[in-house]
Amino acid sequence: MSWLLHRVDDRLIHGQVVVAWGQRLRPVRIWVADDASAADEWERELLATVAPGIEVHVVPVAEAAAAYAGEAAAPGGAFLLVRDLGTALAVVEAGAAIPSFTLGGLHYAPGRVKINEYIYLGPEDRRAARALIARGVRLEVQDVPATRPQALPTLDPATAAP
């Protein structure tokens, strides 16, 4: 076993992750790579308590990237969660050899355009998506296991690598 899921979701650990993906893939560890959450003790504790029976590590991007290869060799499966595409790119640029990310929830904010019901992207998101794809990272859109994954560039041609 090793990495089971790399997910981009602005809600980080929540119902879809724990209930839908967690019941299906049974991770033993969840890594949240997020500088802001890692710096906030209350947020770290909140995220640790909402995934019962799963070991939760809320760490800065650099620490997640440093732990990435080791986790791949550890017993049991793991999830990696980031809140946006910029963070996904930062983890990859920091040295984590991540083959793909699943875009599970990037909700509306001013300046973002609708890609589907649960993915909205702004210029920064699209720039990060193109950079990830240019590095050979696959980007798929899928909220829960029961829905069909779709390649991001198919849904949003503006994210296709130049």
Partner 1 sequence: MSRVPALLIMHADLAAALLRAAEKLYGPVDDVDVLSNEGLSRADLEQAIEARVAAWPAGGLVLTDMWGGSCYQSGASVARGHGEVVVVTGLNLPTLLDYLHNRDQTAVSELADRLLRKGQDSIRVQRGLPA
The site for partner 1 (CB under 8 A) is made up of 10-15, 18-19, 42-43, 46, 49-52, 105-109, 117-118
Between 117 and 148, CB nearer to partner 1: 117
Strand order across the beta sheet in which 29-33 lies: 55-59, 29-33, 78-82, 3-9, 100-105, 138-141, 150-151
CB of 68 to partner 1, least distance (A): 24
- At 158, which amino acid appears? A
d(CA 83, CA 60): 12
Radius of gyration of the chain (CA): 15
Between 90 and 106, CB nearer to partner 1: 106
Determine what percent of the chain falls in helix, strand and coil, rounding each to the nearest 5: 40, 25, 35
CB of 159 to partner 1, least distance (A): 20
Between 50 and 131, CB nearer to partner 1: 50
CB of 54 to partner 1, least distance (A): 11
Between 67 and 119, CB nearer to partner 1: 119
d(CA 45, CA 31): 13
CB of 103 to partner 1, least distance (A): 14
